[in-house]
Amino acid sequence: MSQTALITLILSGLGLVFGLIGGGVTVNAREFRRRAHRASGLVVRLRASRSDDGTVYYPTIRFVTLYGQQVEAESSYGSNPPPARPGQEVPVLYDPARPTRIRIDSVAGSGTLLGGIFLAVGVVLFTVGAGIALAQTF
């Protein structure tokens, strides 16, 4: 196998993997948004998760459900900088069947941005791989 063919295969394969992950995250975010209820929440604390790549902050939010149940839950999506500081109000999406499953109602907080980034990177990598393959055939 030539070096060009190997590069084409790797780029296209990575593009396909990133695209599938991005598509999955985006569909998951859309489905969650469709079934979720909305509430106004208060950020009560931030949990810092440190790694070699930096620090990611996961907010814990307190809110009251549509049925009057007070809930305190940590968002599964973290970011740096944090989406809000303790004491700030944020719009919340929560799963009515499991109210502790929450996301901040924003592009970044709901997973839509992450899915879009993965999808875009996947499309670019796949297109470059396919472009190299086409260029080799002519």
Beta strand extents in 1-138 (DSSP E only)? 37-51, 54-64, 70-74, 89-95, 98-104
Peptide bond into 81 cis (omega under 30): yes
Q: What letter would DSSP give residue 13? A: H
For the chain, 138 residues long, the average pLDDT of each consecutive 10-residue run is: 80 89 85 91 96 92 96 90 93 95 76 78 87 77
